[in-house]
Amino acid sequence: MKIFKFGGASVKDAESVKNVSMVLKSQGFAKCLLVISAMGKTTNELEKVVELYFKKDNYQTEIEKIKRKHIEIAEGLFPENHAVFAEINLFFDDIDSFLRRNKSPNYNFVYDQVVSCGEMISTKIVSEYLNEIQFVNQWLDARDYVKTDNSYREGSVDWTRTEEFISNLNPEICYVTQGFIGSDENNFTVTLGREGSDYSAAIFAYCLNAEAMTIWKDVPGVMTGDPRKFSDVSLLSHISYEEAIEMAYYGASVIHPKTLQPLQQKNIPFYVKSFVDPTKEGTKVGASEKNQQEESYILKEDQALLKISTRDFSFIAEDHMSLIFGYLSKYKIKVSLMQNSAISLALCLEDKFNHIEELNEELQKIFKTEAIKNVSLFTVRNAKMDHIDKFYHGKNVLLEQISKNTLQMVTQ
C-alpha cells in the first residue's frame, strides 16, 4: 500500500478538496490509505472553543461559526440533499453535547475530545466527496486503530495493540482516515501532539509495511530553509533519514519530529511533495547514493532560555541533573539545546503547555535561575565553518554551540 497524507492547507476549502482528487488521479488511486488533517485553521478555532469553555464564556457561537464554514465547503462539493450535511451537523452537536455534560476539570482531556473533531469532520467530507466522484474508499475512525496511553495532548502509541488492529485492514482497497488522533484503553480520544498527522501517517505506513509514504505540502519539498523566513533557499531532492531526523529535531516545520523513526525501522521511502504541482519530484527521504548535505537553516521560535546555577558554587552533579530533568518531564517541557559548565546549566526549552513559571519556581528552591522567554533557536546544519561570521550579524546571541558541522545559537 501507499500512504498519502494531506494537511490542513490542502483541504482548506471546496477547491482544495477537488485538488486532492486531481493529485490522486496523477498518482493512481489504488491500494492507498489517505491520512487527512482538519480543514484550514479548524484546529486553532476549536482550541478557541476549549479556551472559551474554561473561561465560562460563550463557546457556542464559536462552534456555530466553525460549523457554518464546513457546511459552506460541503455546499461547494455536494448536492443540497446529500447525507453529508446531516453528518456535519451531528459532529458539531456532539461537541456541544460533550461540553454541556462534561464534569472533568482536566484541560488536556477536554482539549483532546473537542479538538479532534476537526479531523473527524474533514475526513468524512473528503471520503464522501471521493466516493461521489467514483474514487471508491472506506472511511476509518483512526481511534479504532491507533491505541495510546492516556497522556492527553501528547499520546504515546501502544505499538503492539496498534499494529494488531491496523494489520487487519485489507491492503487491496483504499481508506480515508484521520491524522493526529488515537484512543486510550477507555476509548477516550487522545491526540498525538500538535502537527501530529505526519506521525499518524508513519504509524499506518509502519503497521501496513507500506511501499512508500508521501506528505503533500504547499511547498516543493524539503528546502534548505523555510522560504517564509530565509531567502535564497533551494530544494533538497534527496536526504538521508538521519539528516531528516536532525532537521526535524531542530525544528524544521516541514517534517514532524516523530515521523521518521518508524519509517526508518522498515526502510520505507518517505516523500515530501507539492499538492500545487504533484508532477514535480519533491524530496525523497531514505537510503540513496544521491543524498545531499547542503547548508540548511532552521529557526525554532517561541522558545525559553533557562539558566541554572548552584547557590554555593558547587558542581552541577549527576544528582542535580537527575532532579532538573525529572521536573522537565513532570511539566512536559522539551529540551531543544543544552549547555553545561562546572557550576551552571543553560537550557533552551520548548514549553508547549506553558509550565515554565511552575518549573522555575520549583528549581528556585534549590538553584539560582534566570528565565528568558520569547527567544529563538537558530540552527545551521552542514555549516561552512570558514564563513560562519555572517550568521552572527545583527543578532543578540544569548547562547551558542558549535559541534562538528552544526552551528546553533539562542537569540533574542
Residue 261 has pLDDT above 80, yes or no: yes
**Considering the domain boundaries, does residue 224 fall inside one?**
no
Same structural domain, 316 and 198 = no
Same structural domain, 66 and 212 = yes
The tally of CA atoms less than 13 A away on the side-chain side of residue 185 is 3
Same structural domain, 195 and 63 = yes
Residues 215, 7: Cα–Cα separation, whole Å: 8
Same structural domain, 194 and 320 = no
**Considering the domain boundaries, does residue 308 fall inside one?**
yes
Residue 288 has pLDDT above 80, yes or no: no
How many domains is the chain partitioned into structurally?
2
Same structural domain, 9 and 154 = yes
Q: Which cell numbers hold the place of 136?
A: 471508491
**Considering the domain boundaries, does residue 281 fall inside one?**
no
Same structural domain, 171 and 307 = no
3-class DSSP state of 375: strand
Same structural domain, 66 and 174 = yes
Residues 201, 178: Cα–Cα separation, whole Å: 9
Yes or no: say if 200 and 179 are a contact pair by the CB < 8 Å rule: yes
Same structural domain, 335 and 197 = no
**pTM for this prediction:** 0.89
**Considering the domain boundaries, does residue 270 fall inside one?**
no
Mean local confidence (pLDDT), 169-173: 95
**Considering the domain boundaries, does residue 277 fall inside one?**
no
Yes or no: say if 266 and 311 are a contact pair by the CB < 8 Å rule: no
The domain that holds 354 is classified in CATH as 3.30.2130.10
CB neighbours (10 Å) of residue 288? Answer: 13
Residue where one domain finishes, among candidates 186, 217, 248: 217
Determine the pLDDT at residue 50. 98
- Backbone CA torsion sign across 10, 237, 202, 176: positive
| Cα 346 from chain centroid (whole Å) | 26
Residues in contact with 74: Cβ distance below 8 Å, sequence separation at least 6, in sequence order? 14, 82, 84, 85, 88, 125
| Cα 331 from chain centroid (whole Å) | 20
Which of 389, 3, 10 is closest to 217 using CA atoms? Answer: 10
**Considering the domain boundaries, does residue 243 fall inside one?**
no
Determine the pLDDT at residue 351. 95
Long-range Cβ contact pairs of 309-318 (< 8 A, separation 24 or more):
309/343, 309/344, 309/345, 309/367, 309/368, 309/369, 310/343, 310/344, 310/367, 310/368, 311/366, 311/367, 311/368, 313/343, 314/343, 315/342, 315/343, 316/340, 316/341, 316/342, 316/343, 316/344, 316/345
Q: Which cell numbers hold the place of 86?
A: 446531516
Yes or no: say if 60 and 204 are a contact pair by the CB < 8 Å rule: no
- Backbone CA torsion sign across 388, 389, 395, 401: positive
CB neighbours (10 Å) of residue 349? Answer: 24
Quick one: what percent of the chain has pLDDT higher than 70? 100
Determine the pLDDT at residue 104. 97
3-class DSSP state of 370: strand
| AA letter at 242 | E
Burial group, residue 210, by CB count within 10 angstroms (0-12, 13-18, 19+) = buried
Same structural domain, 194 and 316 = no
Confidence of residue 381 (pLDDT cuts 50, 70, 90): very high
| AA letter at 234 | S
Q: Which cell numbers hold the place of 218?
A: 504547499
Mean local confidence (pLDDT), 94-100: 97
Same structural domain, 129 and 34 = yes
Residues in contact with 353: Cβ distance below 8 Å, sequence separation at least 6, in sequence order? 108, 153, 331, 332, 333
The domain that holds 193 is classified in CATH as 3.40.1160.10
| Cα 264 from chain centroid (whole Å) | 18
Confidence of residue 228 (pLDDT cuts 50, 70, 90): confident
Determine the pLDDT at residue 186. 96
Q: How far apart are the first and last CA of the chain?
A: 46
Same structural domain, 317 and 211 = no
**What is the extent of the structural domain holding 389?**
297-411
Residue where one domain finishes, among candidates 201, 217, 233: 217
Residues 29, 21: Cα–Cα separation, whole Å: 9
Burial group, residue 103, by CB count within 10 angstroms (0-12, 13-18, 19+) = exposed
In angstroms, what CA-CA distances link 69 with 59, 74, 405, 406?
Answer: 16, 9, 47, 45
Confidence of residue 58 (pLDDT cuts 50, 70, 90): very high
Residue where one domain finishes, among candidates 217, 250, 276: 217
**Considering the domain boundaries, does residue 149 fall inside one?**
yes
Radius of gyration of the CA atoms of the chain, in A = 23
**Considering the domain boundaries, does residue 261 fall inside one?**
no
Residues 379, 401: Cα–Cα separation, whole Å: 10
Confidence of residue 250 (pLDDT cuts 50, 70, 90): confident
Determine the pLDDT at residue 147. 98
Same structural domain, 208 and 303 = no
Q: Which cell numbers hold the place of 174?
A: 483504499
Residues 181, 38: Cα–Cα separation, whole Å: 11
